[in-house]
A and B are shown apart, each in its own frame.
Chain A
């Protein structure tokens, strides 16, 4: 696995940030000038790829593709997979991504200015499509297996891992690069800011994202990319790979109701399905990485859903979005990585800024601070607009 996140640009840095409960949220003054309600955002530098990738590989990549390239490089390195292996085996890619705003805006701006499509150049089309990440990475790494993008709103990254798991389970692929990427820029989030969904606690950026806290006032948009190398058991054993965890359950559902307002039933069904698929009871789950984004409706509904499924067992719960902000299309993949890092080092990262519970979060066992914990299995929730829900169950690997 590999990560390029507002908490750090590699696994080690991210693990330390998680352990320390460090926030990656800043105030972006440009957004204020542009007319945003909230200028808060997670932030990570744009990778410098000149001299690393040739021009043709670079100019078709939007910023989230660059993040994803960095995350995938680390993931392949950690998995012990070199280019020569990719050349000789049928490795696929399923990546979560659900927007690419800047190249769309820029290319149309050029057209409006020059009134000639020929002045747009060759790169924008490959940056503009939702499949920009999978199409670019598949070319850069010369992948020859399954190759497409999962667009499932804020559950995209989670569904990508879930779909990869199903394909491998079906015996259709041995190895798939799964992940999620999220661009960080005002263009991508302006229309989301328009929904009054973002926290306006601009005086203290690191305290703005406060999932499950009574006084939460909205989410903080964020981004980056996260890649996991999903591999069949046989292939991993054959390669002598260092197995970091085992995907054992994938549950999904759709709320069938409102386009933006979440409910309790959909998430509950996704969690139950994931548990059933895993063959484990609720008591086997040691940690839940909640979707909770710091919105009033979302967090309270998820708290109720978690309580319905895990009310008797009360595993530790935290939303790492308290530190990262909402990584949207990336979040479902990054939060699996955050949780695996915790599983490896036997701790649960804190749900920072959780001071006072509300009537629903008071029923959960929320990690207020970094908590030592043996995690043998965890569940990671991701929900998105349109009522799409995904839950993954991952357990520690043992021979």
Chain B
């Protein structure tokens, strides 16, 4: 139970951090931050913004995003899941 709680907290922290980075660095409106939001269509994140996300994620989470792993990442929820998997592989 303790383990599980701890893991959930970590995921929440990761999501909070991603949201804050999107607001601060990519200047996404806070109101638009919803898990089901489509990164391109709803949040307006284009190919150039993805280049900046690469830098932002490495500087804040310490790993390099891989373009081939991002092909299935469509929504913000997908993005959370991808980052969480990379941060907590187990």
Contacts and interface: CB of A to CB of B under 8 A. Distances in A.
A59 B26 CA distance: 10
B55 A54 contact: no
B58 A55 contact: no
B54 A54 contact: no
Say what secondary structure dominates the interface of chain B: helix
Contacts of A122: 48-49, 51-52
Contacts, number: 24
Contacts of A240: none
A258 to B, nearest CB: 43
Nearest to A126: B48
For chain B, the bracket of interface size reads 10 to 19
A122 B49 CA distance: 7
Contacts of B55: 118-121
Nearest to A119: B55
Interface string A82-123: 000000000000000000000000000000000010111111
A118 B26 contact: no
Nearest to A118: B54
B54 A56 contact: no
B64 interface: yes
Contacts of A56: 46, 48-49
A118 B27 contact: no
Given A118-B51, A122-B48, A55 B64 contact: no
Interface of A: 54-56, 59, 116, 118-123
Given A55-B27, A118-B64, A122-B48, 9 more contacts: A54-B27, A59-B52, A116-B64, A118-B54, A119-B54, A120-B55, A121-B51, A121-B52, A122-B51
